[in-house]
């Protein structure tokens, strides 16, 4: 058993009360980082599934082009940004 791989184990290592509901900021930050990567990969998967439809539909390409700044700058989804650029013909 690896104690830092479970919530209870992490609480023991941080010397926190086992069954008290508390937030460990470092763990929350790690979780958010992993969630951000999963979101990025999930968007790429969805775009890959829909790629034939996207490539054949000018309206969809235009909509993706308009949303690209949000995905790229606001959400900072780097893999999704690259995939969208590839699909709409931007480099």
pLDDT in tens, 18-44: 677 777 798 899 999 999 999 999 999
Domain span holding position 74: 29-91
39 and 77 in contact (C-beta within 8 Å)?
yes
pLDDT recorded at residue 3: 62
Of the candidates 90, 87, 91, the one whose C-alpha atom is nearest the C-alpha of residue 56 is 87
Rounded mean pLDDT of the chain?
88
The confidence band for 6, taking pLDDT boundaries of 50, 70 and 90, is confident
pLDDT recorded at residue 91: 65
The answer to whether position 57 is within a domain reads: yes
The answer to whether position 19 is within a domain reads: no
Give Cα 88 distance to the centre of its chain.
Answer: 21
Q: How many domains are there within the chain?
A: 1
Token pair 């470092």 is at which residue?
26
**pLDDT tens profile 50-62:** 999 998 999 999 9
The answer to whether position 65 is within a domain reads: yes
The answer to whether position 16 is within a domain reads: no
Q: Whole-prediction pTM value?
A: 0.73
């Amino acid at each position: 058993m690896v104690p830092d791989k479970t919530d209870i184990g992490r609480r023991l290592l941080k010397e926190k009360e086992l069954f008290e509901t508390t937030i460990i900021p470092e763990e929350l930050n790690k979780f958010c980082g992993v969630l951000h990567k999963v979101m990025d990969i999930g968007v790429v998967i969805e775009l890959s599934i829909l790629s034939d439809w996207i490539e054949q539909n000018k309206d969809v390409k235009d909509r993706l082009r308009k949303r690209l700044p949000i995905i790229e700058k606001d959400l900072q989804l780097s893999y999704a940004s690259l995939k969208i650029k590839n699909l709409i013909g931007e480099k």
